[in-house]
Structure 1
């Protein structure tokens, strides 16, 4: 069975803590009373580790109490898959990995070019996006994937997940699903942007070039500050979990925020488009 995102994260964090503390693999092996190949396998996600062993290594590495408890909890739950596993047969493996990372996160920073982010989509908008992005498939399969996307939004609505979304002006101009779906989606963005845990910014077309043209991505941040990145492409999703890669995308997102309108000006632009959209569609009909 393939490793879970939690298992990969646990292995990576143990290696990071050890190197940050200036400890060797031999030091860790002595602490656990094992041979050093076991430590190498643990850090390369080729072998599991017990919660009490994680606690011992955190003590050796001088980790804070908060980090230690976070690591021990991660070890206890490393093999577990959450609610999203029920969608395993109807979603791509990348969709399941994405949902797992998102569920484990405390915040998500998302950049989209042509689309509204999945966490902010209405069911009808999501349906149009999924139907357009896939070869012809059964309607019930589309509905299951819409259900997964909407289920992911619950943590946003309850305030358990913070979302900072940056989208281009093209995303709010593209009339996915037709007039009613388009207008309802813009109105939904206004509603969600009013939540204290949601921040929305739009990069206007007049802003010109920016640091991430053609590259939509999501940055996940976990409760201990570690993170991961998901980069969308035509045939799937690329997941990046090494700290230098994650930091590069975090910096890119900050640059995008600087290029975008302020949250207040973003809401004003949305209201303008909702008003004009009604008039424009009415003229067409």
Structure 2
């Protein structure tokens, strides 16, 4: 009887160790874990705290803090609460982090992740800044990363009282955020490759005025000279068999992590995809529109012709 009890204890101990090993193994990076990590890193930097100091607050190593900040794990609610206290987080930041923490701990596979939390565009900017490569396609509009300041202002002005309540203050705030978003991504400390493709009718669709559009064309010519990793290409008007007419998409690649894709939307929460069955078709779509687009030099020639008034 004693031997049997000892055997059961040994079996339970072995099972417990196996479960512990499984739970401590590599964690797949997901959109939620990436967003949690980037948000925690941002709060820590704002609080001017080191990873070692943060780890000491919750009894973890600096390496574990780094692991989570890089989207490779998560923390429990109690640990997150203590970190948020340590960082002096606001009520809205606490709500966001705790919600992301809950989503990051989810083990069951899911397809799309809808970001309905406060300040979604802030997390989009952080994801893009942290990526190693960005592929961005738009139909009929200049992609956000390469919009000129005047184009951004005109776009936000015409969106006022349509996509949000009539508010000059919010229009200014959204304009400033878009420009800051561009700066953060284009001037990120780690060099990245950025491939931008859009359809030629984006140059015909006047936003603001003809003067704004002329400035936008000049911006498209000058920007790659300041950003060596940036490539801008145009799909010419009338190009047949474009599989992405009427839509837009962004695919983000991360070092040693699955790609993340999302379709750009006019309004509402962004839905992110990080499963291969969703991301791979988006990658193929971008590859196809890239094949239809002019090369960089031919795109440059087209833009110069636009400046000269050619149609």
Same fold (TM over 0.5): yes
Contact 1:70 1:224 in 2 (8 A): no
Residue 32 (structure 2) pairs with residue 29 (structure 1): no
Residue in structure 2 matching 1:139, options 163, 168, 177: 168
SS at 2:137 equivalent: strand
Distance 1:247 1:179 in 2: 38
- Tell me the residue number matched to 1:233: 265
- Structure 1 residue 121: Cα displacement: 1.1
d(CA) in 2 for partners of 1:147, 1:28: 51
- Of 205, 230, 234 in structure 2, the residue corresponding to residue 198 of structure 1 is 230
Match of 1:148 in 2: 177
On the 8 A contact 2:132/2:192 being kept in 1, the answer is yes
CA shift at 1:108, angstroms? 0.9
State whether residues 98 and 230 of structure 1, in contact with CA within 8 Å, keep that contact through their aligned partners in structure 2: no
- Structure-2-length-normalised TM-score: 0.61
Q: How far does residue 144 in structure 1 lie from its aligned partner after superposition?
A: 1.1
For residues 137 and 74 of structure 1, do their structure 2 counterparts lie closer, same or farther at Cα, with a shift above 3 Å needed? same
**CA deviation string 1:40-88 (max 9, x = no partner):** xx9x97xx99x9xxxxxxxxxxxxxxxxx8777434898799xxx9x99
TM-score by length of 1: 0.66
Conservation of the 8 A alpha-carbon contact between 1:70 and 1:223: no
Runs of 4 or more consecutive aligned structure 1 residues displaced over 4 Å after TM superposition: 69-72, 75-81
2:288 maps to 255
Separation in structure 1 between the aligned mates of residue 308 and residue 180 of structure 2, nearest angstrom: 30
Higher mean C-alpha displacement, 113-122 vs 249-258: 113-122
Q: 2:129 aligns with which of 96, 99, 103?
A: 103
Q: 1:1-285 alignment to 2 at 5 Å?
A: 29-31=19-21, 73-75=70-72, 93-134=119-160, 135=162, 136-154=165-183, 155-157=185-187, 160-194=191-225, 195-236=227-268, 237-276=270-309
d(CA) in 2 for partners of 1:139 and 1:97? 24
Contact 1:156 1:197 (8 Å CA) reproduced: no
Looking at structure 1, the residues matched to 18 and 286 of structure 2 have their Cα atoms a distance apart, in angstroms, of 36
Q: Do 2:67 and 2:73's aligned partners in 1 also have CA atoms closer than 8 Å?
A: no
2:146, 2:274 → 1: CA distance?
Answer: 24
Name the CA shift for 1:70/1:262 in 2 (closer, same or farther; >3 Å).
Answer: farther
Report Cα offsets for 1:152-189 as digits up to 9, x if no partner.
22231467332100000011122211022111110000
Q: How many residues align?
A: 222
Residues 263/99 of structure 1: CA separation in 2 closer, same or farther (3 Å cut)? same
Higher gyration radius (CA): 2
